C-alpha cells in the first residue's frame, strides 16, 4: 500500500512574514493528521524560515527548482547541496512552468534529477501535455518522452526516492481539472512505463501525484483512483483550510 503524498507548490507567491505565518498555520492545522506524507515548497528566499516554522512536525520542505552543478560561477542558481544545507529533503524538477516558460529541456531536467539524487534530495519529476497536444491525441507520446528522458541513467535504487507528478498543462491554474478517469488513464500509462524500465517492484512502489487545479472538492474523487497517490497542489496550497482539506481527502 502506497502512502499518499501531498505537496504544496507555493510558486512565486507570498512575502517573508506571510510565508512564515502560512507555514505555522499549516503545521497547526495538520497536528495529529497521519497516514499521509506532506511537503511544502516555498520560494528559495523563504526556505530557512519555513524549515524553522515546521520544525518538530512531519511536514517536509522542498525547493521548487535546482541547478545541475554543486557550485560554481552560475549567478542566480541554487544547487542541491545548498537546498540540503538549509533543511530541504526534496525538490520539484521539470515543472511545466520551467519547461514552457523558461525553456527547460528533457536532457536538462535529467541532469537536475541526477544532481538532486546525488545530494540525497528526493525529486518530484513533473510531466504533462499541453492542451494542443491532448487535442492532437499526443498525450501518451508526450508523457512517455518526458518520463523516459527524465529518468534516463537512473537505477532501481534511485527510483526508491523518486515521485512523479502528472500535471496536464491545460489544467494548471485554469480552473479546469482532468476528470478522475483522465488522470487515472495517464497515471496507469506512467506506472506501466516504470514497470518496463525498472521492474514491477519499483512500479508498484512509485507514488504518482496529480497536479492541475486540485481543490478540496475534487481531491477525494481524484485520489480514489488506483494509480493516483497524492497531489502536487498549486494555488490551493496558499490557503490553510483548502490545503488541509485536500490532505485529509487524500487519506
Q: Among the options 37, 95, 97, 129, which is catalytic?
A: 95
Angle, CA 181 vertex, CA 179 and CA 185 arms, to 5° = 120
Instruction: Report phi then psi at 149, rounded to 5.
Output: -70, -35
DSSP string computed for 36-72: SEEEEE--GGGHHHHHHHTTTSS-EEEES---SSSSS
Q: Among the options 37, 97, 129, 167, which is catalytic?
A: 167
> Given its phi and psi angles, is residue 236 left (phi above 0), alpha (psi -120 to 50 degrees) or beta?
alpha
Contact 240, 22 (CB under 8 A): yes
Asked if 167 is an active-site residue, the reply is yes
C-alpha cell, 226: 488506483
Cα gap 179→206, rounded to integer Å:
22
Residues pairing with 209 in the sheet = 165
Residues pairing with 210 in the sheet = 166, 231
Positions annotated as catalytic residues are: 95, 167
Amino acid at each position: 500500500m502506497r502512502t499518499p503524498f501531498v505537496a504544496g507548490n507555493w510558486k512565486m507567491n507570498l512575502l517573508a512574514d506571510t510565508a512564515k505565518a502560512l507555514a505555522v498555520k499549516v503545521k497547526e492545522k495538520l497536528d495529529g493528521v497521519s497516514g499521509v506524507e506532506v511537503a511544502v515548497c516555498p520560494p528559495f528566499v523563504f526556505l530557512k524560515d519555513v524549515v524553522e516554522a515546521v520544525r518538530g512536525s512531519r511536514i517536509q520542505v522542498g525547493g521548487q527548482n535546482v541547478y545541475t552543478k554543486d557550485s560554481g560561477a552560475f549567478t542566480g542558481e541554487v544547487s542541491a547541496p545548498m537546498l540540503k544545507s538549509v533543511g530541504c529533503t526534496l525538490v520539484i524538477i521539470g515543472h511545466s512552468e520551467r519547461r514552457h516558460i523558461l525553456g527547460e529541456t528533457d536532457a536538462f531536467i535529467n541532469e537536475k534529477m541526477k544532481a538532486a539524487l546525488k545530494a540525497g534530495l528526493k525529486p518530484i519529476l513533473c510531466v504533462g501535455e499541453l492542451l494542443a497536444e491532448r487535442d492532437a491525441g499526443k498525450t501518451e507520446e508526450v508523457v512517455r518522452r518526458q518520463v523516459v528522458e527524465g529518468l534516463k541513467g537512473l537505477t532501481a535504487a534511485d527510483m526508491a526516492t523518486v515521485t512523479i507528478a502528472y500535471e496536464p498543462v491545460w489544467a494548471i491554474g485554469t480552473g479546469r481539472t482532468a476528470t478522475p478517469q483522465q488522470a487515472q488513464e495517464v497515471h496507469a500509462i506512467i506506472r506501466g512505463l516504470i514497470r518496463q524500465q525498472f521492474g514491477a517492484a519499483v512500479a508498484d512502489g512509485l507514488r504518482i501525484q496529480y497536479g492541475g487545479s486540485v481543490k478540496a472538492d475534487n481531491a477525494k474523487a481524484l485520489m480514489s483512483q488506483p494509480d493516483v497517490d497524492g497531489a502536487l497542489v498549486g494555488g490551493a496550497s496558499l490557503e490553510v483550510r483548502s490545503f488541509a482539506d485536500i490532505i485529509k481527502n487524500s487519506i
